[in-house]
Structure 1
Amino acid sequence: MDPILFAAIGWLLGWWLWGRPVDLADDPALADADPAPAPRTTIVIPARDEAAVLPLLLGDLAADAPDGERRVVVIDDHSTDGTAEVARSFAGVTVLAAPDLPAGWTGKSWACHSAVHALDLGDDDVLVFLDADVRVARGAVDDAVRLVERHGGVVSVQPFHTTERAYEQLSLYPGIIGFLGTGAGHHQQAPTGVYGPLLATTARDYRAVGGHAAVRTAVAEDVALGIAYRDAGLPVAIRLGGDRVRFRMYPAGVRQLAEGWTKNMATGAKAVPLHRSLGAFWWIAGSGSAAISLPFVPGNAGVAATTGIALYLAFVVQLRMMARRTGTFSWPAIALYPVAMVAFVGLFVRSLWRSQVRRSVRWRGRTIPLHEAHHPA
C-alpha cells in the first residue's frame, strides 16, 4: 500500500478510536442529578511510600465540602517513609495497616481488599478508591458519586496528566493509546477496563463482582476490575478528569516511567479487543509513515513536498487535540512526535520482554509475577 494512503487511513482510524470522550464536569447526567444529600461515601486510599504526595490529596479532601456523610481511609501498604504518620496528622482520617501480602495477590489489590473488609459498609454506601498521587478539585468526588447514583455499576476518571520535566513528555503516546484502547469515547458500549486512580461504585455492586479479590493476581487490576463489572452486566463509565481531577505520573525519573508503563502495557494490552488493537497499531504505524514521508527524508525525492508536510501536520494537529484533553504535553513534544513514538515502541518491546520472557514486572520495589488469568472470587 502506498505509504501516504496508509498514513491517511491511520489518521482517520485515530479519530474513530478517540470517539467523543466526556469530561467529568461536563457529564449531562450531573445537571439532572438528585439534589438530595449524597449517600454515605467511603474514600479508600491505598498508599505505599507516598509520604511526599499524600498530604496534597488529603489537603484537597479536607478543603472539600461533601454533600453527604464522608469518611477517608488510608490503607498503608508496608511503607518505609512514614506514610502512615503523615496520614494520621490529618484530622478525621482513619489509618489502617495492610496485613502481610499473601501469595497470589498484588499489593494494591490486597490493600484495597483489606480496607474494605475492615469497614462496616451498607449495600447503598458508595466506595471511592483514590490513588495517593491524585489531586481533586472541590466537588469532584461528589460528581463521581452522583454519577454512580445515576448509572450504577462503576464510574472511573482518567486524571489529567500534568508534567513538569522533559522526560515526562515521553508519556504522550502511552497515555493516548491507553485511552484509545479502552473505547471510553464510545458510549454505546462498555469500555474495556477502568482507570484505577479514581473509581467509584456502590458497595453492593463491588461485592457482586467479587471486589478486588476477583482480580487479585492482575497487575493491571483496574482493567481487570472494569471487565468484571462489564461481564456481570453492570454499567461501566469512564470520564476525563479535565480541570477537576489530575495527577503527575512517574515524577521520580525515567526508570520509574519505564517500570510504570511496562507494568501497564504488559497486561493491559491483552484486554484490548482485537479490532481496537489493530486500529491502534495502524494509527501508530500511520503516524510513523507520515514522518518518514516528509520530503527532506532521504529517498523521498518523489514525494510531493506539500503532501508529505500536510500529512505530518495533520498528525500533529490530531495529537495536539487529543493531548490537550489528557495532559500538559508541550507543542515541541507534539511537533516532534516521532521521538515520543519511538519511546513508546521501546516501552512496548520492553513490556513484551517482561511479560513473555521474564514473566514478571517490577513496581515499587516488588517483583510481580504475571499470571495467565486472575482467579475468580
Structure 2
Amino acid sequence: MFIFLWIGLLLIMFSLISGFFILFKIPYISSQELDDTVPIPTISIIIPVRNEEKNIVNLLDTLNRQSLQPQQVIIVDDESTDHTVEVASKYNVEIKIKNQTQNEEELVGKTAACYRGAIGATGELMIFMDADTFFDHEDALRNIIAEFKKLSYSGLFTIQPYHRTVKFYEKLSAPMNMVVIAGLNCFTPLKNVFKTGGAFGPFLMCSAKEYTLTGGHKEILGSHLDNFMLTKLFQDHNLSVYNFGGKGSVSFRMYPEGPKQWLLGWSKSIASGSSNTHPLIMSAVGLWIAGGLIIPFSIGFSLLINPSVWLPAFIFLYFFYAGQFLWLAQKVGKFSNWLFLGYPMLLVSFIIVYSWSFIQVHILHSVSWRDRKIDV
C-alpha cells in the first residue's frame, strides 16, 4: 500500500509542474496610444447571430461607447427564431437576413454566416465577433487596433474573451476555458517550438486584403470550427497567427440560458479542437487533471495507513493544487474563489463534457446547437 502512496505523490508532483507549464504566459492587450495623425484603417465588424436576443444588446451597447468607431457593423442572421433581428434593428447596424432566392439555402451555421457578412464588408480591417462577447471599456477597440498595428496589420489576430460567470453552472467552465486556451500550443515556455494549433473563434481580425488572399470563410464553408480552418488557411499562405487573452479588453458570458445550453455549447467543439493540440501539451493537460483527482484518493488511503505521516502531506498538496487551479483560472476568467476548494467537482465536470463531446464528434459525427443538428 505504501508503494501506491509514493507513486501517487510522484504523479502529483509532476502534475503540479504540468500546471505551470500549460499556461505559462498569456499575452493580453495593453493600454496604448494609437497615433491619430496617421490614417487608421477602416473597420468592418461582422457579427453572426442565431437566437441571440439576450446577448446582442450588451455587445452593441459597448460597441457604441468605443472611442474608436468602426466604419461598418454587419449583423448576419442565421435563421433566428427569437427576436434577435428586431433587437438588433434598433441600432445603427446593417442586418443581413438569409435570402432564399440567391441559392443560400445550403449556407447555414456560423462559418456560412461569416462568409455572407464578409461579402458586404467594406472596411480595410475585418473583425468577426461572437454575439455573446462585449468590450470591457471604451478604449478597448482602440487598444486592440494599436496592438495589430505593431504587427503591420498582417496575419490572423485573435482574442479569447475573458469569461464572466454569474450562475453556478457557468462557473464549472473554468477547466474548459483553460484547456481551450492551452490547446493552441502557444502559451507554454516552448511556444516557439510548437506550431500554433489554432485561433480563438469569438474574436477574429485580419486585413481585408489577406482575407481575400486566403479565400476566407468561402474556402471552409463545410466546417463548424472556422477558427481552426482559418488558422490553416493563413499558415498555408505563410501568414502568422497571433493569439491573445481577453482580460482587460474583451469579455463574454457564455450560455446564460441554462445548463442544457452550457453542455451543448461546450460539447460541440472541445473534443474537435483538441485534435490540433501538440501531444506533449495534451499529455501535460491529462497529467495535470489526473494529479488533481489522485490527491483526494491519496488522502483516503493515508487515513488507512499512517495518518500522522501521510495525511498532512496530502492535505497540503490538496490546498496547493486548489491554489494553483485558482491562479490558472484567473488568467482566463472570473470565478468564485471558494469554488476551487471543491476543485475535484470541476475536474469531473470537465471529464463528463469532454467525454460527451468525444462521443458526438468521433462516434456519432454530429453535434447539436441552437436547435440545429450539425454534421462533423
Superposed pair shares fold, TM > 0.5: yes
Q: Which residue of 1 aligns with 2:365?
A: 359
Once structures 1 and 2 are overlaid, which stretch shifts more, 94-103 or 169-178?
A: 94-103
The structural deviation recorded for 1:49 is: 1.2
Structure 2 Cα separation of the partners of residues 70 and 299 of structure 1: 68
Q: Which residue of 2 aligns with 1:326?
A: 332
Aligned positions of 1:87-102 closer than 5 A: 87-91=88-92, 93-99=93-99, 102=105
Once structures 1 and 2 are overlaid, which stretch shifts more, 339-348 or 131-140?
A: 131-140
The structural deviation recorded for 1:297 is: 6.8
**Percent of pairs with identical residues:** 27
Tell me the TM-score normalized by structure 2: 0.89
Structure 1 Cα separation of the partners of residues 305 and 357 of structure 2: 33
Tell me the TM-score normalized by structure 1: 0.89
Q: Which residue of 2 aligns with 1:163?
A: 165
- Post-superposition Cα deviations, 1:215-241, rounded to whole Å, max 9, x if no partner, equal 322222212222332333211111111
Kept after mapping to 1: 8 A contact 2:45/2:126 = yes
Structure 2 Cα separation of the partners of residues 191 and 142 of structure 1: 26
Structure 1 Cα separation of the partners of residues 306 and 375 of structure 2: 50
Runs of 5+ unmatched residues, structure 1: 371-377
1:230–1:358 Cα change, 3 Å = same
Q: Which residue of 2 aligns with 1:2?
A: 7
Kept after mapping to 2: 8 A contact 1:295/1:304 = no
- Post-superposition Cα deviations, 1:136-183, rounded to whole Å, max 9, x if no partner, equal 021222222233332220111111111111111211111111111112
Question: Are 1:230 and 2:235 an aligned pair?
Answer: yes
Q: Which residue of 1 aligns with 2:3?
A: none
What root-mean-square deviation, in Å, do the aligned CA atoms of Structure 1 and Structure 2 show? 2.2
Amino acid aligned to 1:111:
A
Amino acid aligned to 2:72:
R
Q: Which residue of 2 aligns with 1:345?
A: 351
Structure 1 Cα separation of the partners of residues 313 and 236 of structure 2: 46
SS of 1:64's partner is coil
Q: Which residue of 1 aligns with 2:145?
A: 145
Kept after mapping to 2: 8 A contact 1:154/1:236 = yes
- Post-superposition Cα deviations, 1:290-312, rounded to whole Å, max 9, x if no partner, equal 23222577656466123212222
Q: Which residue of 2 aligns with 1:128?
A: 127
Structure 1 Cα separation of the partners of residues 302 and 223 of structure 2: 43
Amino acid aligned to 1:76:
D
The structural deviation recorded for 1:84 is: 1.7
Kept after mapping to 2: 8 A contact 1:106/1:218 = no
Amino acid aligned to 1:147:
E
1:297–1:339 Cα change, 3 Å = farther
- Post-superposition Cα deviations, 1:48-102, rounded to whole Å, max 9, x if no partner, equal 11122212211111111217x62111111111222222222113x1111134555
Runs of 5+ unmatched residues, structure 2: 1-5
The structural deviation recorded for 1:118 is: 2.6
Structure 2 Cα separation of the partners of residues 212 and 156 of structure 1: 15
The structural deviation recorded for 1:329 is: 1.2
The structural deviation recorded for 1:33 is: 6.9
Q: Which residue of 1 aligns with 2:78?
A: 77
Aligned positions of 1:1-377 closer than 5 A: 2-25=7-30, 30=32, 36-66=38-68, 70-91=71-92, 93-99=93-99, 102-103=105-106, 107-120=109-122, 125-136=124-135, 137-151=137-151, 152-186=154-188, 188=192, 191-294=196-299, 299=304, 301=306, 304-370=310-376
Structure 1 Cα separation of the partners of residues 226 and 177 of structure 2: 17
- Post-superposition Cα deviations, 1:257-291, rounded to whole Å, max 9, x if no partner, equal 11011011131111112221111111111111223
SS of 1:271's partner is coil
The structural deviation recorded for 1:13 is: 1.3
Alignment coverage as a number of residue pairs = 361
